Chains A and B, each alone.
Chain A
């Protein structure tokens, strides 16, 4: 999100508009259209291709994700069954027909282009950023859990209690990612802190972000020994991720819901 402070003139305009709502609305829309035109033309859509034929379900991605994003460990006892915080876990699908192959897949937030969770958030704590990532402002969340019930993928987790970092465990927290408190919903951000880092470095060096430097950018992709996870800009037809996304084996989870996920899977191929 580009930060732009509302200046006094804007404020006056808006206040003036409140007298005649119709006129104001037109003015406001026109103004925002003008601002959009001034924004940089390059629009990204970060996306991920997960090749299930490469993936061996070694689960490194799930642990790497927890490490990078300070995802709290939620204990094994009965009370905590179902309270697990999962940004990325392994989804297991039994075959629909008897005799079919079961399928496991690394299962991050799908970062839908048309995200049901974003629509329902009553306070705008979760939103699509202009790079196609479904983000969440932890501190804005009020914990109504509407996004959780709206998400068809179940990729949102609620902090059912304030996370504990016992003793020295606290020292391993990644300083790049804020910890979340109890009563807040959290989710995968495609490791946006890493995206931001790369973007800042590219900006410092006065160049565009190269596809090469983002392919294994998120923690899950970086850790994957099978190199099954590839990250990149889906809006750039030249990128590796776009190239893979054109593979005939491609599919999106629940594509019939029209959510258009940015996570594209490539089918498992067995003899």
Chain B
């Protein structure tokens, strides 16, 4: 099927008309209809009238170019809308990220849009229950609380927490926090604030995930990464893995070092079962072997690599024998791998958040970067590692701060740590795309801590745990298919991409885009805050933000592609080192070590309310709808395959089915994230278990557990 020609102008006009119509007159129709319950005769299949359908002729079909907002990858999508109903999402073939392909998460966005358990309007907690409230009342209440904080001169008692979403809404929240005067702004974007981003800043000077040169690489070593499942760019990597195997003239090899058999291990040409958390040692050992192969050449001049001298000294200690002892990978494989990485250049070592989920994460990232330096991968001709391209949007002018804000920003703020919030609860907390009452370690303690905050505001479109258990006010956002957004995907290509999301359907419910809500709040608070956020609507804010867009880029329907890659820095800095991972808990009482991972269907906020994602196998070969802990048979003596067991750490206990799997490293338990919701809609509730109950603050994989038969 040939995609319809992009008609960006007429499309834009149509969309504008669509949103206008939705706001004006059709609300009544929507409210008049009650959702049909199960009807055994199937007569319930009569579809109701939807808002926005007036703009369509009978059975008229339109395709909207937009960008996916389900995960940080931000693939280009085309949405098929018939009579105002979105019925299909496809990949955009023009988008260089995904070239027409699309991940399961993106496809499931439709289920997120039409989730039967969405919030249908703003809510206020009254007598322990959430009751409907008008937007004006809700906004007034938040604004009053905010104004009071500023009047009292304690703006730092506002906590603003933004989740994974990368986009203008996020920027507006950050700007609101700054102009308001609170240092307590929690940036939940892993690509921006995670360990790897920090190490990349140290190495390349850019606090973003690096760009990996898949297109030209001949060999890739993945160090315990969630390459094709949990990574920020799984769709692009999937496409590249396939293309580098079959599409290219030379076949690239993928070697995956990982503790369990996951999709990356399945797809690797070679899978090395490594002791978890030791891939830093593997990288250093490989660096040593590669350096040894070229005594005559000076591989790492100090002029290009700062710290090259120190590197030689550090890696000298990582002899193959020692690396074998640390990682469990035999010396023969090690030597062969070093030779291959060296011979098949361009090659690089890949790490992502999953590789760094151990206590020694930063060291692992530094070791991987040292190995990449040894391999000459940084800015290699084709297929090297580069810094993320700079944002195509010029930095926003800093908002003018008034005295209250200046004073507030100078005081210490929250960085999202539970203990700090318990010690000094903020007065007002805003959660956008964040669900700490479920998704942070120790959710039960989080709920208590949040309950101590006088005003908790959630912007979630869904009834998640934070909404159900603790929120005092809920100002539900649109889903990304109903609103405008300007977003940059997680880095993948060497050129910058800016995507523009458009509303493809009229809003289903009485929800509002959080960008608009932030602007409305700023207006109500007034003063310098209102001056910092002067736009009447979010739509206009996007136009204003786009004003400074780099002219040299290429505009397409739905996205904008930058003209040139990030410039190479004069030199990269390596600071290799290695510490063995540490594990919390008494080894005698808790003999096993817990490995958490994000399975294929895990979208941030867990995707658990989307049955299409929920039913995906959490590991290759599993049955649909399975949620199991995997463990080596020798590590769980007396436990039957498929039995339900209690998994207990020092901090808590969960009940979970166990699958005996010889492909898991002995001594470890592998548990997927994303189960065990007690809210979040009919599909999420009561399915699986939440491993966050087991772990404490700190890295994801640093907890000892034990398995007890028969449950706790």
A226 pairs with B241, CB closer than 8 A: yes
Residue of A at shortest CB range from B624? Answer: A84
Q: Is B297 at the interface (CB under 8 A from chain A)?
A: no
Q: What is the minimal beta-carbon distance from B80 to any residue of chain A, in angstroms?
A: 8
A63 to B88, alpha carbons, bound, how many Å? Answer: 11
Q: Is the CB of A57 within 8 A of B263?
A: yes
CB nearest neighbor in B for A64 = B107
- A89 and B624 in contact, given A60-B101, A168-B508, A181-B42 (Cβ under 8 angstroms): yes
Q: Identify the closest chain A residue to B611 (Cβ).
A: A73
- A63 x B104 contact (CB < 8 A): yes
> B235-273 vs A: 1/0 string, CB under 8 Å?
110110111011100000100000000010011011000
CA of A84 to CA of B235, assembled, Å? 26
Interface residues on B, range: 35 or more
One digit per residue, 1 when the CB lies within 8 angstroms of any chain B CB and 0 when it does not, for chain A 208-229 equals: 0000011011010011111110
Q: How far is the CA of A67 from the CA of B111 in the complex (A)?
A: 9
Which chain B positions have C-beta within 8 A of A181? 42
Query: Restricting to B561-608, which residues have a CB under 8 Å from any CB of A?
Result: 600-601
Produce 1/0 per residue, A232-244, CB < 8 A to B.
0000000000000
Q: Are A90 and B47 in contact (CB under 8 A)?
A: no
Is B36 an interface residue when CB atoms closer than 8 A count as contact?
yes
With CB as the reference atom, state the residue of chain A lying closest to B97: A225
Residues of A60-112 whose CB lies within 8 A of B? 60, 62-64, 66-68, 73, 75-76, 81, 84, 89-90, 92, 94, 102, 104
B600 touches A271 (CB 8 A): no
Please determine whether A63 and B44 come into contact, CB atoms closer than 8 angstroms. Answer: no
B residues near A68, Cβ cutoff 8 Å: 88
Please give, as numbers and ranges, the residues of chain A lying within 8 Å of B616 by CB-CB distance.
59, 62-63
Residue contact B242 to A57, C-beta cutoff 8 Å: no
Determine if A2 is an interface residue (Cβ-Cβ < 8 Å): no
| B-contact bits for A129-155, CB 8 A (1 contact / 0 none) | 000000000000000000000000000
Q: Please tell me which stretch of B114-122, B466-474, B522-530 contacts chain A, meaning at least 4 of its Cβ atoms lie within 8 angstroms of it.
A: B114-122
> Which residues on A sit within 8 Å (CB–CB) of B38?
162, 164, 166
Instruction: Name which residue of chain A comes closest to B234, CB basis.
Output: A58
Neighbouring B residues of A214 by C-beta, 8 Å: 1
A55 in contact (CB, < 8 A): yes
With contacts A89-B624, A168-B35, A222-B91 taken as known, whether A59 is within 8 angstroms of B617 at the C-beta atoms is: yes
Residues on the A chain within 8 Å of B87, using CB? 172-175
A198 in contact (CB, < 8 A): yes
Say whether A102 contacts B242, CB under 8 Å: no
Q: Which residues of B contact A60 (CB under 8 A)?
A: 101-104, 107, 235
The answer to the question of A26 belonging to the interface, with a C-beta cut-off of 8 Å to chain B, is no
Q: Which of B48, B247, B270, B625 contacts A171 (CB 8 A)?
A: B48
Q: Give Cα A68 to B47, complex, Å.
A: 17
B615 beta carbon closer than 8 Å to chain A: yes
- With beta carbons under 8 angstroms apart, the residue of A94, A165, A225 that contacts B98 is A225
CB distance from A66 to the nearest CB of B (A): 6
How far apart are the CA atoms of A94 and B622 in the complex, in Å?
A: 12
A57 touches B267 (CB 8 A): yes
**Closest CB in chain B relative to A233 CB, distance in Å:** 15
| B window 152-179: CB within 8 A of A | none
Distance between Cα atoms of A29 and B687 in the complex (Å): 59
The contact string, 1 if C-beta is below 8 Å from chain B, for chain A 178-205, is: 0101100000000000100110000000
**In the complex, are the beta carbons of B266 and A102 less than 8 A apart?**
yes
Partner of A58, one of B90, B238, B247: B238
Contact indicator A271/B238 (Cβ below 8 Å): no
Closest B residue to A266 by beta carbon equals B246
Per-residue interface assignment for chain B, residues 81 to 117, with 1 indicating a CB less than 8 Å from any chain A CB and 0 otherwise: 0100111111100000011111110011011011111
- In the bound assembly, the distance between CA atoms of A179 and B45 in angstroms comes to 8
Pair A174/B228 contact, Cβ less than 8 Å? no
Known: A104-B621, A223-B90. A162 touches B42 (CB 8 A): yes
> Within 8 Å of chain B (Cβ to Cβ): is A56?
yes
The docked-state distance in angstroms from the alpha carbon of A94 to that of B253 is 23
B59 at the interface (CB under 8 A from A): yes
Any A CB within 8 A of the CB of B545: no
Nearest residue in B to A65 (C-beta to C-beta)? B107
Q: Which residue of A lies closest to B340 (CB)?
A: A271
Q: Which of A53, A58, A269 has the most CB atoms of chain B within a 10 A radius of its CB?
A: A58
Closest beta carbon of chain B to A19's beta carbon, Å:
45
A3 within 8 A of B: no
**A102-B621, A167-B35, A168-B508 known; A59 vs B1 contact (CB < 8 Å):** no
Is B614 engaged at the interface, CB distance under 8 Å to the other chain?
yes
Residue in chain A with minimal CB distance to B229: A58
The size bracket of the interface on A is 35 or more
Question: How far in angstroms is the closest Cβ of chain A from B23?
Answer: 19
Q: Are B239 and A227 in contact (CB under 8 A)?
A: yes
CA distance A270 to B601 in the complex (A): 26
Q: Give the docked Cα–Cα distance between A206 and B472 (Å).
A: 63
B10 in the interface (beta carbon within 8 A) = no
The docked-state distance in angstroms from the alpha carbon of A223 to that of B115 is: 22
Cα–Cα, bound, A165→B611 (Å):
12
Residues A56 and B114 in contact, CB atoms below 8 Å apart: no
Taking the complex as formed, is B620 at the interface, i.e. its CB lies under 8 A from any CB of chain A? yes
Inter-chain CA distance A12–B248, complex, in Å, is 64
**Bound complex: CA of A47 vs CA of B207, how far in Å?**
48
A69 → B minimal CB distance (Å): 11
Q: Is the CB of B102 within 8 A of A198?
A: no
A41: CB under 8 A from chain B? no
**Docked-complex contact A67 and B116, CB < 8 angstroms:** no
A169 to B40, CA, bound (A): 17
Partner of A62, one of B104, B269, B687: B104
A58 contacts B104, C-beta separation under 8 Å: yes
**Does the CB pair A56–B91 fall under 8 Å?**
no
Interface residues of B in 345-374 (CB under 8 A from A): none
Q: Are A225 and B42 in contact (CB under 8 A)?
A: no
**Contact of B620 (CB < 8 Å), options: A92, A163, A223:** A92
A146 CB to closest chain B CB (Å) equals: 23
**Alpha-carbon distance between A68 and B35 when the two chains are bound, in angstroms:** 22
Report how far A67 CA is from B86 CA in the complex, Å.
Answer: 11
**C-alpha spacing A260/B133, complex, angstroms:** 63
Is B101 touching A223 in the complex (CB atoms < 8 A)? yes
Chain B residues contacting A104 (CB-CB under 8 Å) are 266, 620-621
Measured in the bound complex, the distance between the Cα atoms of B108 and A73 in whole Å is: 12
Q: Are B266 and A67 in contact (CB under 8 A)?
A: no
Separation of A174 and B81 alpha carbons in the complex (Å): 10
Determine whether A250 belongs to the interface, using a CB cutoff of 8 Å to chain B: no
The answer, yes or no, to whether A170 is at the interface (CB within 8 Å) is yes
Set of chain A residues within 8 Å of B682, measured between Cβ atoms: 166
Instruction: Report if A54-B35 is in contact (Cβ < 8 Å); known contacts: A60-B102, A166-B116.
Output: no
Q: Is the CB of A170 within 8 A of B36?
A: yes
Cα of A162 to Cα of B37 in the assembled complex, Å:
12
Would you give the shortest CB distance from B126 to chain A, in whole angstroms?
25
Query: Bound state CA distance, A14 and B1, in angstroms?
Result: 43
B332 at the A/B interface (Cβ < 8 Å)?
Answer: no
| Separation of A155 and B508 alpha carbons in the complex (Å) | 36
Known A-B contacts A169-B115, A222-B100, A227-B239; the reply to A58 vs B85 at CB < 8 A is no
Q: Given A57-B620, A58-B234 in contact, is the A225-B1 Cβ separation under 8 Å?
A: no
Bound CA span A58–B269, Å: 17
Q: How far is the CB of B663 from chain A (nearest CB, A)?
A: 9
Q: Return chain A residues, CB-CB under 8 Å to B611.
A: 73, 75
A89 CA to B38 CA, complexed, in Å: 26
In B209-251, the 8 Å CB interface with A consists of: 228, 234-236, 238-239, 241-243, 245-247
A-B contact pairs, 19 of them (CB 8 A): A54-B242, A56-B242, A57-B263, A57-B620, A73-B615, A75-B625, A84-B615, A90-B617, A92-B620, A162-B41, A166-B116, A170-B45, A171-B114, A175-B82, A197-B1, A223-B102, A226-B241, A227-B101, A227-B239
Q: Which 4 A-B pairs have the closest CB atoms?
A: A225-B101, A167-B116, A226-B242, A167-B35
What would 19 more interface pairs be, CB under 8 Å, given A67-B110, A168-B35, A214-B1? A54-B243, A56-B266, A57-B266, A90-B620, A102-B266, A167-B116, A169-B111, A170-B44, A170-B47, A173-B47, A179-B42, A179-B45, A182-B40, A222-B91, A225-B98, A225-B99, A225-B239, A227-B247, A271-B253
